[in-house]
Amino acid sequence: MRRGLFPFLVFAFLSSSFAQVAPGAPGQMAHWTSGNKMAVGTSNSLGSKLWYTLGSEGTLNEVYYPTVDKANVRQLEFVVTDGKSWVERESEDTSHQIEVPDTEVLSFRQVNTSKAGRYRITKSYITDPDRDTLLIQVKFQRLKTGPVQLYVYYDPSINNSGMHDTGYSIDDTLVASDGGIASALASSLPFTKTTSGYFGVSDGLVDLKKSFALKNIYARAQDGNVVQVGELPAAATRDVNFTLALAFGPEGEVAIDNARKSLQKGYEHAYTEYAKGWRDWIDTLKQVDAKYRDQYQIAAMVMKAHEDKTYRGAGAASLTIPWGEETDADQPSVGGYHLVWARDLYEVATAFYSIGDKEAADRALNYLFNVQQKPDGSFPQNSWLDGRPFWGSLQMDEVSYPLILAWQLGRTDSESFTKHVKPAADFIVKNGPTSPQERWEEQAGYSPSTIAAEIAGLICAARIAQLNHDDDSRNRWMNTADQWANKLEAWTVTTSGKYADRYYLRLTQHGTPDSGEMLTLANKGGTFDEREIVDAGFLELVRLGIRPAGDPLIEKSLNVVDNVIKVDTPSGPVWYRYNHDGYGEQTDGHGYNEAGVGRLWVLLVGERGEYAVASGQDPTPYLDAMQKLANAGHMLGEQVWDRKDSPDANRFRIGESTGSATPLNWTCAQFVRLAVAAEEKKLPETPAIVADHFRQARTALPNSGSAVQTVRR
């Protein structure tokens, strides 16, 4: 009899188990979210290797773990229903506010109010400084009477992919995993129901929209675009406070343990630790004008928050995927901007140095030299944190900036010189002054901004060579730098262009600026006479000390730039990268897709402000503009909308961030550096050795004009 019952029990168990597996694998296609973030955060500690981002739609977006190049979440939000006639999502059915309770702490509060006036949800975010857990303190307020039920909607995209996740429940905790990374979502008010399904087919939101309740409960969804939903107990449908813990680990058990321990610690205790970590660091920074202090502190913390905690010194360009809502998340190969560019990292490192955190700048240089640099001395266009190249081109300014940074940080020891400085400088001499790509990563040729970096890098390297008694290298690098400085205008300044009698071009393909050679722009921007395309990259010549701010050619070229690519917005003047730029939203408002219309770049306002400092002018209009161009979370982005009209007035307003990348680490660095420069009335990142060299040359040859004859024979 027992032998007869056993097969029946096995069959019943298996039938029940299979019934609990979600149907509809793998679900609809996964995408990332918009690059327009209202906030980013992490603890200022090494005990928590977790970073979070908050989107403009009032929800949690990408969460990065265990490094800043691994995104694991698409979205987390609340869903509210009356159980019989309506369902509302925070992202779609509420008005959104973002608040910064304390500008000395990188913590943010989202306030979402039902457009129908039914409820308000307030969410405050921190990470537990001791473990890999995001804590969300939630306050749910009823604004109208009547029954409601509250649910958590969680869309994991584990290990940089949204299409290969597995989701399941262990007790009252939702677990998702993929490729050695797992998440665990738990609540201080334990979930009464949990379900894991496939996006758009069998996920809990599909059920709620159809039935206004969770009627189809699935214990597991495997290898697909998994969405998880948890039902809060009835107590959460009244005015109530509770905490969500979204934790991570190499496997589900570890993630669950992290979530439970963080919930046991409690939000208030964790916040005290979290706040202290940030306030202690803020206290070490240089002070700036009180008018800019809040923005300065937030921008500085955002810079620090982009530094990885495993690959120390590696700073991601941005914790975003540009136009991610239109980017497939089916494979873990999408790098977005959560990669490392040597140029961006140089900008950030000089900002750290400027505000008083030399240790952070040193870590950045260590990363550049010890992880990114190639055996031939060059640096990849960009890379994953472990140094694996992502895109495959070469940008000569990225080979040059680490040399400038090495000199400024006093990295003149024999090992640094032999292993890092000398190979890079030799590579520049061998392969410059042209570059396969300039700083906008698009065109090959002679670029004023790239050549400025090469010249400054070689002079800094030459001084390091001298200190290491390598006079041959010193002389070769100095001679090359001076030769290129003397030929710079012949390569990049037109005397036959349509805008003025002389002005710098964005670049020339073959060093013949008066030839009228046709230039085909990237991103389907069109084909134009080289003499028509201008940018403000020549300002690097001033910032790096190669040309004086009062150089008539610099001033004349600035007039051209202002006439061609400046836009006066309600926030102040902002510039395009160059005219006919195609890297930006399409005209119908859809995200960039191999073509578009380049919008206004915020960091260019800061570059112009630094020029104002160098020329003895007032930089405050540019600081004011940058501060106004930040969003309500004080995030400074890459691009802002460039016109009064918009294909979608709810998404695009002139001077407000687009879907490209907010915050952008480079822009944050530009603001804090300008704030310090305005206070000190000098550019903190200008290498004095370069400025002195060319100042002495101009003194020796007062009538030489822009070109300076300093070649050593």
Catalytic residues: 438, 441
89: β partners: 79
The DSSP secondary structure of 101-156, one letter per residue, reads S-TTS--EEEEEEETTSSEEEEEEEEE-TTSSEEEEEEEEEESS-S--EEEEEEEE
Q: Which residues contact 660 (CB under 8 A, 6 or more apart)?
A: 35, 36, 320, 322, 323, 584, 592, 599, 637, 638, 639
For 604-625, letters b (16+ CB in 10 Å) and e give bbbbbbbbbbbbeeebeebbbb
Distance CA 124, CA 136 (A): 5
Q: b/e per residue, 468-504, with b = 16+ CB within 10 A?
A: bebeebbebbbbbbbebbbebbebbbbeebebeebbb
Identify the H or E element spanning 536: none
Question: Do the beta carbons of residue 95 and residue 10 sit within 8 Å?
Answer: no
Cis amide bond preceding 66, omega within 30: yes
Per-residue tokens: 122: 């307030």
Q: Are 647 and 588 in contact (CB under 8 A)?
A: yes
Who contacts 210 (Cβ-Cβ below 8 Å, separation ≥6)? none
Cβ contacts of 52 within 8 Å, gap of 6 or more: 40, 41, 42, 60, 62, 63, 64, 125, 127, 134
C-alpha 400/C-alpha 378 separation (Å) is 9
Of 202, 191, 295, whose CA–CA distance to 602 is shortest?
Answer: 295
Tokens at 88, concatenated:
């509302």
Concatenated DSSP letters for 371-420? II--TTS---SSB-TTS-BSS---BHHHHHHHHHHHHHTT--SHHHIIII
Cβ neighbours, 10 Å, residue 688:
12
d(CA 270, CA 267): 5
- Omega within 30 of 0 (cis) for the link into 619: no
Residues paired with 140 in a beta bridge: 121, 240
